[in-house]
Structure 1
Amino acid sequence: MDIVLAGLFGLVLGAGLNIIIIRLPRERGFGGPPRCTRCGQRLAWWQALPLAGWLIQAGRARCCGRRLDAIYPLVDALTALSVMLLYMRHGLSVSFCYITAVTAVLIVTGAIDWQHRLIYTLPTLGATLAAGAVAFIVPYHSLLNAVLGLLVAGILFVVFYLVARIMFPAHRAPFGLGDVYLGMFIGAALGLTNLLGALLYGMLLAGAFAGLIVLVRRIGRRPTPQYISYGTFLCVGALLYVLIWGLAGPRATW
């Protein structure tokens, strides 16, 4: 029964994250009734249900008939699944609350970057400071671990940023300052002990996706993205890492 309640909590949390994902890039307030992301018409209560509303409408807005973005039910499902897995691993504990909050930041940041190629500076830095501030009460974490993770990630990602600017001086660099801030958040949130593993997951996912794009271009000759949202893969990689290993990391199984 507890795991069912955790899943329901995850769905509600996912719905809240979707409000941020939808409204923040559009510079809309977080109050007011939910509206169709295509035509702006006010939604009926059942259309706004997390995950179920999208499924009932079969992926098309009932009000205007246009296709709804699949990222929103994906956020609902991913958040619910993440919360359930975290609850199964940690129970109702400090670790559960902390990693759930980190998961929420990663999902929101990854979704917005996927849609808009945009990572917000102030919210990301605020989340970084918050992660560092509470690190001392989190098992397998500490303030020193958070600070070292932040510093190492900051230095590493600044180097990546400068290399990208040098390699693509006349074009939009594939690696921006937003990715630097995101890397610093991951470093502070997961600590130096987990930083390299989390980044490795993200880089492998980004490399695999880039390889898939190249393959589709050569074989299928279909339209493909010119750029990949690198921040999204960093978020997914960090999320996968923390769901699999927790903050204890692989060393806990040695």
Structure 2
Amino acid sequence: MPPLPTLVMLIVGGLLLGSLLNIVIIRLPRERQLLRTPLHCTRTGEPLAWWQVLPLVGWLIQRGRSRDGRRLHWMFPLVEVISAALPVVFYLHYSFSATFAYLMLVASILIITGAIDWLHRYIYTFVILGGAVLVLLVGFAIPQITIFNGLLGALIGGMGFLILYMLGSILFPATSVPFGLGDVYLAIFIGAAVGLTRMSTPLLYGILMAGLLSAVVLLVRNVFKRETPQYIAYGTFLCLGTLLYLALNGLA
């Protein structure tokens, strides 16, 4: 465990990072104006007080509800919790180093992409492919990643998911394919970020988590006769699987 001052710095820094990521998550799909001020409540549209800019703090103080009593979405405090936990975990793996900074960059892109996909079922091409180019460019400074390994990971990951996407389009032409081109682009990013030699495990984690949720949804729908979502955000689980892998293993 890091020294207490370092631990506090990591957690507070992670909470602040989570607040910034939430601004992107909220504003990119709705306004596409990331720098406009002031910040507004996602429910009432009212300007936020200074303490509400940190969604976890605002969520706890207001007991998960907006000023008019409506429930606030759980996604935004969850983003802050994950953003506060990951710096501590990555520090335990690599201390303050280039690899630590690299993992925080990768995690930030995954958190933004996974949250937006869950909320809006959409993956922004410029975020995920721009992120893939960025991690390839900075990967040369990371001892555990080589440009060649990253390029192969991006190529194989993208090709594999593109084949699955095309097969789904052929086999189920009358229905929506379980995942879209955004998930293909996400596989490209994951392959570029972790490299070919590590790519299979985080993708497997994501596939298994998505499969487990799908089984639960089908059970609730068919056995308990409850209304359930028609689709799941597949990309969210690919992001979660990769975050879980990085938290457990780093770039080992």
Fold-level match, TM-score > 0.5?
A: yes
Residue of structure 2 in register with 1:37 after alignment? 42
Corresponding residue for residue 22 of structure 1:
26
Quick one: which of 195, 200, 205 aligns to 1:201? 205
1: CA distance, partners of 2:210 / 2:180 = 15
Q: Specify the alignment match of 2:59 in structure 1.
A: 54
Q: Does 1:68 align with 2:72?
A: yes
Contact 1:51–1:77 (CA under 8 A) maintained in structure 2: yes
Paired with 1:157 and 1:181, the residues of 2 have a C-alpha distance of: 9
Q: Look up the match of 1:168.
A: 172
CA distance in 2, matches of 1:212, 1:139: 41
Measure how far apart 1:163 and its partner are: 1.1
Q: Quick one: distance in 2 between partners of 1:186 and 1:214?
A: 28
How far apart are 1:83 and its partner, in Å? 1.3
Q: In 2, Cα distance between the equivalents of 1:50 and 1:175?
A: 30
Query: 1:213-250: CA deviations, max 9, x gaps?
Result: 111123332221101110000000011001111111xx
Partners of 1:12 and 1:50 within 8 A in 2 = no
- Scaled by the length of structure 2, the TM-score of the pair is 0.95
The aligned runs of 1:187-198 (5 Å cut-off) are 187-198=191-202
After superposition, residues 90-129 of structure 1 pair within 5 angstroms as 90-129=94-133
For 2:209, the aligned partner's letter is: L
What secondary structure, in the 3-state scheme, does the structure 2 residue paired with 1:23 have?
Answer: helix
The answer on 1:144 being equivalent to 2:138 is no
The amino acid that maps onto 2:53 is A
RMSD: 1.0
- Seq. identity, %: 51
CA-to-aligned-CA distance 1:19-43 (integer Å, 9 cap, x gap): 0000000024122011010121111
**CA positional deviation for 1:171:** 2.2
Runs in 1 of length 4+ with deviation above 3 angstroms?
Answer: none
CA distance in 2, matches of 1:46, 1:27: 23
User: TM-score of the superposition, structure 1-length normalised?
Assistant: 0.95
The structural deviation recorded for 1:114 is 0.4
Which deviates more from structure 2 when the two are superposed, residues 222-231 or residues 164-173?
A: 164-173
SS class of match (1:92): coil
2:29 match: secondary structure: coil
In 1: Cα distance, 2:164 partner to 2:44 partner: 40
Distance in 2 of aligned mates of 1:175 and 1:152: 17
SS in 1 for 2:30: coil
Secondary structure in 2 matching 1:58: coil
1:52 to partner: Cα distance: 0.9
Runs of at least 5 residues in structure 2 that lack an aligned partner in the other structure: none
SS in 2 for 1:80: helix
Write the distance in 2 (CA, Å) between the matches of 1:218 and 1:29. 42
User: Does 165-174 or 136-145 show the bigger shift?
Assistant: 165-174
